[in-house]
């Protein structure tokens, strides 16, 4: 392999890792909900869309950037809290399929509400981030992807600090480990669930702004939830670390597969390689790389 071939491999790998960080952003929203309540929140993609559409619509109506961001944050916090209070709390202790169908229905309701409020047209979202590639040691790196990765890393660090060093964060970890034990020591599960759904709304806001700036704000934006599923399968549905590592692996592997395996299968491998990799992981380790193993009792 020549020096230039090596640089090309590194460039593809770096681009894939940076894309993987974007996948992790969406996956973390899933993990927060699933870890505390066992609910696979299929409405997370619609929440991402709603956040991006709300923000860009406010900006287009002349509201300053910072104020639009603050209003959108308040809206997403209210949305997460309302979902937990009016839909998920009444369905506590129902079957996983019931909860999944409830979030699936929520997904369509949120998309319909976004359409009623803001319309169906496609919007361009400019966050003021220059996407001109810059060169480092002969490797071209996207400025936008690098800054997005930095924002995602800061958000993950903030969430980790919150759940490690605050009282509500420690309560969250206790509920995630054992809900019945948490109840026995007097922890208020509804309050914790409300906080977690609020955090999921914040994650949806960050993901919505970054994905909206990259792809444009349109209703197909909600389909990025499908990109998060192989990340969750690979990393584990109940692990924030797994969501991060899984996103990096999925992002890097699909880019490398497209470049080096794509020519042998006619191209287009990037669209489905992540799911093939997730299927292999399911067969070998169903709980994912970092997920908690479940033991069935006979």
297 occurs within a structural domain: no
84 occurs within a structural domain: yes
Domain CATH code at residue 107? 1.10.3470
290 occurs within a structural domain: no
- 12: how many CB neighbours lie within 10 A of its CB? 17
Domain count, the chain: 1
Q: The tokens of 236 are what?
A: 């584990």
- pLDDT higher than 60, residue 298: no
Q: Within 13 Å and on the Cβ side, how many CA atoms surround 93?
A: 4
Question: What value does the mean pLDDT take over residues 6-21?
Answer: 85
| Distance between CA atoms of residues 290 and 278, nearest Å | 14
289 occurs within a structural domain: no
265 occurs within a structural domain: yes
Q: Find tokens 């991006």 and name the residue.
A: 52
Question: What value does the mean pLDDT take over residues 279-283?
Answer: 91
- pLDDT higher than 50, residue 82: yes
The model scores a pTM over 0.95: no
Residue 280 lies in domain: 3-284
**3-class DSSP state of 129:** coil
High-pLDDT (> 70) share of the chain, %: 92
The residues, ordered by sequence, that sit 6+ positions from 287 with a Cβ below 8 Å of its Cβ are 236, 293, 294
Question: What value does the mean pLDDT take over residues 87-108?
Answer: 84
16 occurs within a structural domain: yes
Average pLDDT for the chain: 83
175 occurs within a structural domain: yes
- Reduced DSSP (H G I as helix, E B as strand, rest coil) percent helix, strand, coil of the chain, to 5: 75, 5, 20
**3-class DSSP state of 216:** coil
119 occurs within a structural domain: yes
């Amino acid at each position: 392999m020549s020096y230039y071939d090596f640089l090309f491999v590194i460039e593809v790998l770096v681009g894939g890792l940076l894309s993987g960080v974007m996948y992790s952003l969406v996956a973390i929203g899933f993990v927060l909900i699933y870890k505390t309540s066992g609910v696979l929140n299929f409405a997370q993609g619609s929440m991402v869309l709603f956040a991006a559409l709300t923000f860009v619509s406010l900006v287009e109506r002349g509201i300053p950037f910072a104020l639009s961001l603050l209003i959108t944050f308040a809206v997403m916090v209210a949305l997460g809290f309302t979902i937990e209070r009016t839909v998920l709390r009444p369905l506590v202790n129902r079957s996983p399929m019931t909860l999944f169908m409830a979030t699936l229905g929520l997904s369509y309701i949120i998309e319909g509400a976004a359409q009623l409020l803001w319309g169906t047209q496609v919007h361009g979202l400019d966050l003021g981030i220059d996407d001109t590639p810059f060169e480092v040691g002969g490797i071209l790196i996207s400025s936008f992807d690098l800054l997005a990765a930095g924002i995602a890393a800061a958000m993950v660090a903030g969430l980790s600090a919150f759940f490690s060093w605050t009282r509500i964060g420690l309560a969250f970890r206790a509920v995630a480990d054992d809900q019945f034990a948490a109840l026995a020591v007097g922890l208020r599960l509804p309050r914790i669930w409300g906080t977690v759904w609020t955090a999921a709304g914040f994650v949806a806001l960050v993901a919505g702004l970054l994905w909206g700036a990259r792809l444009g704000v349109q209703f197909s934006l909600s389909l990025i939830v499908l990109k998060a599923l192989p990340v969750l399968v690979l990393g584990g549905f109940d692990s924030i670390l797994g969501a991060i590592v899984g996103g990096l692996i999925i992002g890097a592997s699909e880019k490398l597969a497209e470049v080096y395996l794509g020519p042998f299968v006619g191209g287009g491998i990037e669209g489905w390689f992540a799911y093939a990799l997730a299927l292999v992981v399911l067969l070998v380790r169903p709980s994912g790389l970092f997920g908690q193993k479940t033991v069935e009792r006979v």
